[in-house]
Homo-oligomer: A and B are copies of this chain.
Amino acid sequence: MGGPEIDHLITLLAKLPGMGPRSARRAALRMLQQPEQRMLPLAQALAAAAAAVRPCADCGNLDSRDPCSICADPRRDRSIICVVEGVGDLWALERAGVHHGLYHVLGGTLSALSGTRPEDLTITALLSRIEEGETREVILALGATVDGATTAHFLADQLRPTGVTVTRVGQGVPIGGALDVLDDGTLAAALRGRRSA
């Protein structure tokens, strides 16, 4: 239609999460109509982020600093480590502003289906951090899936000899959620997790 450059650009844009061929064409067109204002800034932002951002050697967070902004922040409570599956979960918790300690990014969950084994996750690094002695509590903030539960059990076993308190995030009715649209598993978890009103 408009040469190989446009076709190639649309192909790459269509691979972004949330985009498809249709929105990729719209995005390409919008940018092509204002290349200086829209296209080059995005090209530069991508190149700058690719050059600067690295996983934090301590916790696995993605940041242009290493140690990352969270690990380097003196105001964070260094005695609590929140274990998450991926950086997206870390971002979600930070946006919510509900955790004021440190994080540890596992890099996945144990999974028989995808063949993810303990040595594929950052479990050894987590144990090393705990051996340094500052940690009082480890919060397992893993998804309420079979693999998430398996991983949480495995981690609880591994962490027991260290003597730190190990907790798991609560499960139940999402805030703002109606009961009649929830699945049976969530309803069962909500009843099991009941507390005095």
Interface, chain A (partner B; CB < 8 A): 1-6, 8-9, 12-13, 15-19, 22-23, 25-33, 35-36, 38-50, 52-53, 61-65, 68-69, 87-88, 90-91, 94-95
Contact = CB atoms under 8 A, between A and B. Distances in A.
The complex is assembled from copies of this chain, and their number is 2
A51 to B, nearest CB: 8
Nearest to A22: B18
Given A27-B19, A29-B87, A2 B46 contact: no
Given A17-B27, A19-B18, A2 B62 contact: yes
A22 B42 CA distance: 17
A91 to B, nearest CB: 6
A46 B13 CA distance: 10
